[in-house]
Structure 1
């Protein structure tokens, strides 16, 4: 995930440490979290080990999977048991809501997390995200001061608010997110129709076909997509992403090239 492997070590540079736990299909399971926290506090030498202070997850995940209401509730219960907040990175939240696997609403999300954010820049906003603090837990104490201390206070913050006001008018946020997922499903079907397998069956705007290198080289001539690190295998995992701005004609061109492979 971004918090551990990207952003140039931003969390560590702020004086904290990221401890990663083994996921399942990109998602942190409540049992995994419970076992880690129980082991930490049962260790007589835990004062020498980094103390867990918050749980950070992303939905959709880096693998395009989404957390269900039951999964988030289970995680939240563990967090409450150990008195640490549950934070959900919602950079791609709109695409998660548009997923066929989604059973959450924004109201649900406010009940099963302590803090989450509504991604703006990945779903049509020019800049900014909307951070939501749930309940009266004091987690937002001094937040505006912390923003200023880190050089992130916008001089014209109302512009940020206007964007979200417009995105949430007439269901626009959800409609344009749904369009991206529909485009991704078209791409997925095209790869499957050609006999290519998927690394993971993502229900969101990220798709992960496993392709031979000659097919990758042909598609790279006309399209931009991510290639997983080369392990020396004859086939590699790729990642194709759609967005709110993906046009029908662009997907048509990609599908046409896939059919020629």
Structure 2
């Protein structure tokens, strides 16, 4: 029997509309390195959505985008502030440190950074014997599926500007955050409150690709140099441009994310109703459930998922839904979890 797949949101090839668009252009030729008509049209779509004359760059993947953005923004002695669970701190193989930049971590509150901890970190580093905190990194949605509210992001942005810090938002799952029931932020507001942010396509229906959006005029020069130097410039950049045209057309990116969220939140609600405890309450398409070792040993043979934490008497597992997840697969998983 084929296993159910709740392992991640990038296990399927791509949304059919994306593949159809690529197929339409099989006989066409394009300029290289993202300097093509398809990428220009996709850039215009992004600018229209965020209502800003930002610089827009199409990159290959999330870790690459984070490394490029942070390396571009910081001088050699400058550092990043992030929560301990931040993707750059735990899941990117030291990519940021490899560029020479220290990550100053703070405890997350429901997966999120709080302004008070930003200020405390800045105050700890006041002379030339330590690094200079210069950029705050956050993820929306966070690594545990929670989202930032407009009030939270506004306060973080204010603190950053008061302390001469850049605010960078890792938006690998920003589409899921935007359609979360807990969200009250818009893309134009995110653009106004941040200096740089990304919108991820890899985890939301594309073959690959992230959009890096640079809103701060001081950071706009020479981004393409940073992209090239850090190995992120795709010669066939038009492949990203064509995909992102479809991604943003008729808000497909939001429809795909909404589908994933609805299924995940339904699964979360049903599992709580069955008596399972949650490691954290998610607002988006990742859910974290505590299960017994007996249940784990049964489940691993019929379902793909990630193990998030191990304890003596239980295992925390992560179930993730995507644009390709079927409602009937969620129902099958619920039935398995009943027994």
Q: TM-score range by the shorter chain?
A: over 0.9
User: 1:54 — aligned with what?
Assistant: 135
> Aligned equivalents of 2:253 and 2:322: distance in 1?
12
- After superposition, the Cα gap between the structure-2 partners of 1:39 and 1:16, relative to the gap in structure 1 and judged at 3 Å, is closer
User: 1:250 — aligned with what?
Assistant: 329
User: 1:10 — aligned with what?
Assistant: 95
User: 1:24 — aligned with what?
Assistant: 109
- Aligned-partner SS, 1:210: strand
Unaligned runs of 5+ residues in structure 1 are: none
Instruction: Summarize deviations over 1:3-35 as a string: whole Å, max 9, x none.
Output: 011221111111111111111011000111112
Aligned ranges for residues 1-261 of structure 1 at < 5 Å?
1-41=86-126, 46-136=127-217, 138-232=218-312, 234-260=313-339
> Aligned equivalents of 1:230 and 1:213: distance in 2?
9
The count of aligned residue pairs is 254
Q: Is the CA contact 1:89–1:116 (under 8 Å) kept in the aligned structure 2?
A: yes
Higher strand residue share:
2
The alignment's TM-score, normalised by the length of structure 2, stands at 0.73
- Aligned-partner SS, 1:180: helix
- Aligned-partner SS, 1:109: helix
Instruction: Summarize deviations over 1:157-198 as a string: whole Å, max 9, x none.
Output: 122122111111112111110000011012112211211111
> Aligned equivalents of 1:208 and 1:149: distance in 2?
38
CA RMSD of aligned residues (A): 1.2
Q: Is the CA contact 1:60–1:92 (under 8 Å) kept in the aligned structure 2?
A: yes
The alignment's TM-score, normalised by the length of structure 1, stands at 0.93
